[in-house]
Structure formats: C-alpha cells, structure tokens
Structure 1
C-alpha cells in the first residue's frame, strides 16, 4: 500500500473542504493571477477532485449529522465569491452548518434558557472564526450583554470542552467538547480508510 497523502485529519479535511472545482475549467492566465498558490502534494484538477471526494464521502457516510456540521463550520470557507460582482458573500453551506449547530446548542448547551436565534447563530459563528463582538450580537438580539456573555461561555464550553473540572475541592478530568469529538471521529474514519497516516 502506498503512503497516505495526508499526515493528519486536519490536513485532509482542510484540503477536502477547500478544494475548488473552479480550477478545472479556468483559463491559465486566470489561474496564474490568483493570490493563492497551491502547495503540497500536487493534488489539483481531476486527481484533487477525486481525493477530496473520497475524504468527504467517508465523512458523509459515517459521522453523525452534528459532527459533520462542526467539521464544515471549522474547515469550509466562510465566504464565497459573488457570481455577479466578484466580491465576497457569506457561504450558504457554512451558514447552514452554523444554524444546525446553533439548533443543537439549544438542547445540549442552553437547555432551560430562553435564547434568541440571532444571538445563538452569532455566538456559534464567532466560535468558528467570524469576527464579531459579543456586545454587537447582544444589541442585535436585543438582550443584555451579560446574558450574551453567559450564553457564549456555555456554547464555548459545549463546543470546546474543558481541561479540568472542579467538584467540591477535587479536580477531575475535563469534559470533551463537541468539536474534539468530531475531529477524533473523523480521524478514526480517515485513518481506517488509509487516507491519513500517523503524525
């Protein structure tokens, strides 16, 4: 068996979620003018599309829906190019993943709390890299900044987990976050398929 092309799940997922099929039919001059110059294993064109497809198919077939959405939110592009003006617009795939994670947060991280969708979506998007301030999100959702801050910490703890917990005066192991569980599941699936090697 040949050596896997990727050393980690992070590398493989970054490649797969960001592979662009637009490179297959673009003129050479346009490709040369791009800011981004691909590096790495030389995966482009049909070979790159095939490799990205194999990775995404494994993820799609085996992982639970929430974990798939978390991987999209972490690795997929947040913005797309507008077809009419060439400017940047929010990616519908990324926004859809954020909304689904936000819906899951209602039951799993914020149960017992009254939440506003605009605030939840904004806090989840913020966790996954969208640049925004909690105060701005609180104002948009018409809630107190302290409420927004508390819900942010609960969502972050649910997604990221904790290093340790303290019950009474005893320190215990932390709690795994949803994102870590998704990455571990993806790594196991991709390793088993021979798509990634050991780091």
Structure 2
C-alpha cells in the first residue's frame, strides 16, 4: 500500500479528536466560563453567541468559541431540559460587597436564581398536584442542586403537612432529575455528532 493510500485510509477511518470527554464536562466548562455580571436576563444572555470573552485555550482553540458552540447545542434542546442542565452546572454563589447588615459576603448568582425559579414554575405546571406556594418548590429545587436549605423547614413555616411535603418533594426531584437526564443524553449525542467529544476508540 502506498504512503498516500495509507494516509487516506487512516483519514477516512479516523474520528475527530474532540475537545471534551463528555457532555457533562462541556456544559460545566461553558456555564463556568464567565463570571461577568449580566445586563440582560441571564437565561437570555447565556444563549447569545459570542457573549464570552477569550480565556481558556482548548487544543489551540479559543475558549470563547467553544463555550458558544456548547450553548448553541443547548439551545437545540427542549427548553426545560436546557434550564435544568444550566441550573445544575451554573456557579451558585458569588462574592457580595453590599455591606448590608444581613450580608454574609456571598449572594446567589442571577443565572442560578433564574434557572431555579423557572424550574419551580415549570414543575407547578407539569405535575398534577404540588403546593401552590412557590417558596416550597424553590426550596426543594435549590436543595436538589446542592444549596444548604431544608425544604421541610419551609414546609413547616407554610403549614404544609410533613407527609404531603415529602410526597411533593419526591415528585419535584423526580421531575427535575428526568429533565437533566434526558437533556444530558440529547446534548451528548449532539456534541458527539458535531465532533466536540473525545473519541473512546
């Protein structure tokens, strides 16, 4: 076999090298790429192409472009799957220097807050029966994503019976978990298709 044919055969059979090892790694990178404040709605801003400054180089490629490409593929998903994925990977808190008496030096990021609140509205519409008070739904979702909040304390304050609160919390967690699972599967397929995932071969 000639050198040309050998190279041609290898080229035809080779898969792209890719950039990320998984969709999970890709969305983690994209969501944490920029810590800038958002002038627009975070969930709207995050979908804008090229809204990220240059920074991380990935195999010689510009990190801004990679983050934009990941978000472009996120934009192809079911909207609520996208919101669940973003909520799971967005930076949850940032420094706060407001000097107010109640300030502990940290505050929830607008992106995480908006994602959680949107999901709280979604589960209210998607599930047959959930507590009408949004505060409880938000507490359950925040806890699911790692925030130090006790939904049962919120339920007690709202006078929601323990057994009902537990049942509703389980249903809410299941709904969000399914959104994440299905969204991650779809995103993984998309990123693999366009050549952004590393080949295991």
By the TM > 0.5 criterion, same fold? yes
Aligned pairs (5 A) from 1:165-176: none
C-alpha separation in 2, matches of 1:87 and 1:197: 39
Structure 2 residues without counterparts, runs of 5 or longer: 1-14, 37-55
Equivalent residue number for residue 104 of structure 1: 122
Aligned pairs (5 A) from 1:72-91: 72-82=86-96, 87-91=105-109
C-alpha separation in 2, matches of 1:65 and 1:54: 17
C-alpha separation in 1, matches of 2:106 and 2:185: 32
SS of the residue aligned with 2:163? helix
Contact 2:17-2:199 at 8 Å conserved across structures: no
C-alpha separation in 2, matches of 1:65 and 1:122: 22
Aligned pairs (5 A) from 1:29-68: 43=58, 47-60=62-75, 62-68=76-82
Contact 1:134-1:145 at 8 Å conserved across structures: no
Equivalent residue number for residue 141 of structure 1: 158
Provide TM-score, normalisation by structure 2: 0.71
What is the Cα deviation at residue 43 of structure 1?
4.1
**Larger Cα-atom Rg:** 2
Contact 2:31-2:89 at 8 Å conserved across structures: yes
Contact 1:102-1:124 at 8 Å conserved across structures: yes
SS of the residue aligned with 1:103? helix
In the alignment, does 2:192 pair up with 1:191? Answer: yes
C-alpha separation in 1, matches of 2:139 and 2:84: 15
SS of the residue aligned with 1:11? helix
Give the direction of change, closer, same or farther, for the CA distance of 1:83–1:63 in structure 2 (3 Å limit): farther
Give the direction of change, closer, same or farther, for the CA distance of 1:193–1:141 in structure 2 (3 Å limit): farther
What is the Cα deviation at residue 11 of structure 1?
0.8
After superposition, the CA RMSD in angstroms is 2.5
Equivalent residue number for residue 179 of structure 1: 180
What is the Cα deviation at residue 92 of structure 1?
1.0
Equivalent residue number for residue 21 of structure 2: 7
Equivalent residue number for residue 71 of structure 1: 85
Provide TM-score, normalisation by structure 1: 0.71
Give the direction of change, closer, same or farther, for the CA distance of 1:138–1:58 in structure 2 (3 Å limit): same
